[in-house]
Amino acid sequence: METLDTRGRYCPIPLFHTKRKLEDMSSGDVLEVISDDVTARETIPQWCQMHEHEIVSIEELNDHVKITIRKC
């Protein structure tokens, strides 16, 4: 599993980096995205659904969210 920490960056940067990272990964690989941007909590899962990537989990933590994605 790879981790992408986008804390301190705001929309659309977390989604942009998530997209780029997934493009470099193989099907079945898992990416954990960490973000403190409120918008990313919605845009990243929506984008993943549109591109058929699996959202494994969304974990709300104190000051950030951890989104785990399996590339299709």
For the record, the structure tokens of 48 come out as 């993943």
Rg (CA), the chain: 11
**Which residue among 4, 5, 9, 11 is the active-site one?**
11
Q: Would you say 8 and 50 are in contact if contact means Cβ atoms under 8 Å apart?
A: no
Active site residue 11: yes
Q: Would you say 6 and 35 are in contact if contact means Cβ atoms under 8 Å apart?
A: yes
Task: Report the catalytic residues.
Answer: 11
